[in-house]
């Protein structure tokens, strides 16, 4: 039986409405995924408007190429992390772009495929790599990193029991290594207090592992810096985040850019999904959209 994986792009109309300022320009979808936002962008452009897409996951590159085949040479998709966009632009002879979107959420495909190891809801290997060629896995971090690094990683992602979790992981792996997502999640569930729980007790640890495995914070900072060099005056950068740490990086960076001059905030407060969208797609509930425009 073939399982069809679906991913509903969040804040779709809001993002495209704020991103496009030149209907004949070149736009970049830096995390193209299955091509949901890209399709909406292309449909909103004139026939001369084009889109360049990036994705670090080879599986996503193949899916988006297939999903956007109808647009022909108006779209080009490249398998790389968006932090490498400067090299791609130079290779492609691109001097400037009209707008760029970074949708930082992990695709539903990653969460729904147990073998990718992103979710504790289904048993899978401790993997969490967006790109399977990446040598670093969640298994390596949990079973080989020292206590101090694990504790720091979990703590900066907001886990108040970081000391307790890291200490218990290091002690337990001396007897038996952690192999699967459910094994780790059940272990964290067992060692943490059972009272006042609002979410799965492994949630922040799994977030911390995913962020570290895929260098998410470093790549976000690099991506903003590189994209800002290629945006045309009047062009916009739109970023969708899904947790407070990412949003803080985007908010503080955008505020700094606007204070330095040459940039203006398009929306002072982040745009969030409507109740209707959340009811339709629960994974949209934590999404925040921030947009900045280059003025000179």
* The pair of three-digit structure tokens given for residue 203, joined into one six-digit string: 């949630």
| pTM across the whole model | 0.92
The predicted-structure confidence for 196-212, as pLDDT tens digits, reads as follows: 888 899 999 999 999 99
Architecture of domain 12-107+217-294: 3-Layer(aba) Sandwich (3.40)
H or E segment to which residue 230 belongs: helix 216-230
Considering the chain, what percentage of its residues have pLDDT values greater than 70? 97
Domains 12-107+217-294 and 135-213 alike in fold: no
Contacts of 52 (CB under 8 A, 6+ apart): 26, 27, 28, 29, 75, 76, 77, 78, 88, 92, 94, 97
Residue 174 predicted with pLDDT over 70: yes
Domain definitions of the chain by residue range: 12-107+217-294, 135-213
pLDDT at 127: 95
∠ CA 15-32-251 to the nearest 5 degrees? 50
- Report the C-alpha dihedral over residues 159, 165, 170, 174, rounded to 10 degrees: -150
Residue 162 predicted with pLDDT over 90: yes
pLDDT band for position 164 (cuts 50, 70, 90): very high
* The pair of three-digit structure tokens given for residue 105, joined into one six-digit string: 């959420």
Tally helices (H) and strands (E) across the chain. 13, 7
What's the CA gap between 172 and 178, in Å, rounded?
9
Q: How far is CA 266 from CA 31, 230, 236, 286, 293, in A?
A: 21, 18, 9, 20, 6
DSSP structure class, residue 57 = -
What's the CA gap between 251 and 45, in Å, rounded?
28
**Which superfamily does 135-213 belong to?**
Putative methyltransferase TM0872, insert domain (1.10.150.170)
Other Cβ atoms within 10 Å of 41 Cβ, number: 25
Residue 3 predicted with pLDDT over 50: no
């Amino acid at each position: 039986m073939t399982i069809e994986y679906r991913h509903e792009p969040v804040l779709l109309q809001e993002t495209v409405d704020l991103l496009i300022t030149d209907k004949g320009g070149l736009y970049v979808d830096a995390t193209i995924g299955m091509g949901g936002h890209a399709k909406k962008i292309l449909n909103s452009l004139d026939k001369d408007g084009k889109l360049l897409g990036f994705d670090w996951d080879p599986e996503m590159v193949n899916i988006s190429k297939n999903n956007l085949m109808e647009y022909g040479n108006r779209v080009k998709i490249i398998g790389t992390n968006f932090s490498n966009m400067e090299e791609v632009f130079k290779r492609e002879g691109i001097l400037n772009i009209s707008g760029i979107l970074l949708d930082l959420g992990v695709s539903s495909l990653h969460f729904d495929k147990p073998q990718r190891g992103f979710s504790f809801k289904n048993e899978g290997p401790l993997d969490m790599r967006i790109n399977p060629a990446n040598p670093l896995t969640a298994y390596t971090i949990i079973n080989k990193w020292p206590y101090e690094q694990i504790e720091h990683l979990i703590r900066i992602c907001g886990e108040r029991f970081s000391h307790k979790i890291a200490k218990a992981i290091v002690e337990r792996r001396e007897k038996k290594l952690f192999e699967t997502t459910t094994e780790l999640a059940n272990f964290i569930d067992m060692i943490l207090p059972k009272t006042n729980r609002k979410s799965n007790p492994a949630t922040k640890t799994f977030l911390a592992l995913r962020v570290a495995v895929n260098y998410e914070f470093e790549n976000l900072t690099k991506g903003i810096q590189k994209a800002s060099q290629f945006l045309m005056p009047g062009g916009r950068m739109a970023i969708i985040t899904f947790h407070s740490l990412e949003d803080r990086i985007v908010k503080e960076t955008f505020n700094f850019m606007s204070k330095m001059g040459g940039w203006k905030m398009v929306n002072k407060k982040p745009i969030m999904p409507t109740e209707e969208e959340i009811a339709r797609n629960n994974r949209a509930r934590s999404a925040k959209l921030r947009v900045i425009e280059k003025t000179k």
